[in-house]
Amino acid sequence: MSKIEFFFDCSSPWTYLAFHGFQEIIKNNKIQVEWKPILVGGVFNSVNQDIYETRKNPNPLKFKYSRKDLKDWSALYNITINWPDLFPLNAVNVMRGVIVADKYNKLVPFSYSCFELYWSKGRIFLI
């Protein structure tokens, strides 16, 4: 059986797409998944601190293309993405909730619900 580590943050649209698409792969293959909840903001702080300045003064063409790219990928996965009013979101408490859900073997359904609420319904989740 193959083992895969899957790193994700419920506040990231790209990990939402990956998380959603990965469920089919898991279902159709013998894969043992080690779920790794992380904070993407913490990764940015370590490797790409310029992201915050870029968000303050986005390049309009790059911004437009990145939204189009995300829309194209979401169409490929047949997922609706409604950009939330509050982005980026401080997901510390949400990801703590994911860790607690894992203790009760509910990591996947809890995470899926968080992704759906934030990225499909465009609503903010508070824990």
The answer to whether position 63 is within a domain reads: yes
Contact 21, 77 (CB under 8 A): yes
CATH of residue 30's domain is 3.40.30.10
Whether 98 is covered by a domain: the verdict is: yes
Q: What is the pLDDT of residue 24?
A: 87
Query: Is residue 28 included in any domain, yes or no?
Result: yes
Q: Is residue 104 part of a domain?
A: yes
- In-domain check, residue 81: yes
Q: How far is CA 101 from CA 7, 11, 57, 113, in A?
A: 16, 17, 37, 12
Give the tens place of pLDDT for each residue, 19-52. 998 988 898 998 999 999 999 877 777 777 777 7
Structural domains in the chain (count) = 1
Task: Give the H or E element holding residue 61.
Answer: helix 60-76
pLDDT tens digit at each of 127 positions of the chain: 889 999 999 999 999 999 998 988 898 998 999 999 999 877 777 777 777 777 778 788 888 998 899 999 999 989 989 888 888 788 899 999 999 999 999 999 999 999 999 998 888 766 6
pLDDT of residue 124: 75
- Those residues with Cβ within 8 angstroms of residue 114's Cβ, 6 or more apart along the chain or in another chain: 10, 94, 97, 98, 125
Residue 102 lies in a domain: yes
Q: Is 127 inside a domain boundary?
A: no
pLDDT, residue 127, reads 60
Asked if residue 126 is part of any domain, the answer here is: no
Instruction: Name the token pair of 94.
Output: 């949400």
Q: Which domain holds residue 107?
A: 2-120
